[in-house]
Structure 1
Amino acid sequence: MAVSWVNDGDFGNLALVDVIFEVRAMLKDFKNLSVCFVSRDANVMADGLAKSGSVLDGENVVWSVF
């Protein structure tokens, strides 16, 4: 739903209208970026990082991928 709010212009959640406008402004500034849906199954690494970050309480974490 969030992808369609950003891309299609319909607002399903007025509480997030400021965030949606901010994302749209960033997309105008960065022409090579786009917003699309990717399922968790297809994006395991990002899902794992998001889960790890969601349990942090103001802590800084650095990952090295090299």
Structure 2
Amino acid sequence: MEGIWIPPSTDFLKFNVDGSTRDSPGNAGVGGVLRDANGMVLCIFSCFVGIQNSNNAKILDILKAINLCASSQYTSGREIIIASDSKVAVSWVYNDGFGSLDNIDSIYDIREKLRYLRKVIVTYNPTSTNSMVDMLAKRASNLEGDIVEWSS
């Protein structure tokens, strides 16, 4: 059963993200979809991130979305919710440990960027409402090629 996407309030954009691994560790991919309050897709990404465990993939999907937000004219000055399906990854973003040494650089990078991107927050979002980004992450972990596309 596919979950229902819940739109953000009209002042926000919402970036749903997911990470996927073929094994743990194994080929890992990240995926994301940025939408406005009307559900209009503004950006999608699907990227291979190497051999990772599942927790690393969940951190790298958040980092990819933050990097896209930091570098885009579409998101400049906008309030953005990055919704992850990993409670653990979200807790690490907000200073509740690192999980493993493999995550330290990525988590520090996320925390530093969030200090400068004050209008970006990372929240937990249940897996059941994340089916489109799950498909994008699995696509990348299957080595089907990277995509980053912004609407025009």
Give the TM-score category using the shorter length.
0.7 to 0.9
Structure 1 or 2: more helix by fraction: 1
Where structure 2 has 5 or more consecutive residues not aligned to the other structure, the ranges are 1-87
Q: Which runs of 4+ in 1 moved over 6 A?
A: none
TM-score by length of 1: 0.72
Which has the higher mean CA deviation after the structures are superposed, 3-12 or 20-29?
3-12
1:34 match: secondary structure: strand
Instruction: Report the Cα distance in structure 1 between the residues aligned to 2:91 and 2:112, rounded to whole angstroms.
Output: 15
The equivalences for 1:8-19 within 5 A come to 8-19=95-106
* Paired position in structure 1 for 2:55: none
Match 2:138 to one of 22, 47, 51: 51
Match 1:27 to one of 105, 108, 114: 114
Percent sequence identity is 35
- Larger Cα Rg: Structure 1 or Structure 2? 1
Instruction: Report the Cα distance in structure 2 between the residues aligned to 1:53 and 1:45, rounded to whole angstroms.
Output: 13
User: Per-residue deviation at 1:61?
Assistant: 4.3
Instruction: Report the Cα distance in structure 2 between the residues aligned to 1:31 and 1:18, rounded to whole angstroms.
Output: 20
Counterpart of 1:38, as a letter, is N
Q: Deviations over 1:1-60 (max 9, x none)?
A: 111111134333233111110001111121111111112211111111111111116x34
Structure 1 or 2: more strand by fraction: 2
Counterpart of 2:140, as a letter, is G
2:94 match: secondary structure: helix
Counterpart of 1:10, as a letter, is G
Where structure 1 has 5 or more consecutive residues not aligned to the other structure, the ranges are none
Counterpart of 1:34, as a letter, is I
Checking the alignment, whether the CA contact within 8 Å between 2:140 and 2:146 is kept in structure 1 is no
* Paired position in structure 1 for 2:124: 37
Provide the aligned length of Structure 1 versus Structure 2: 64
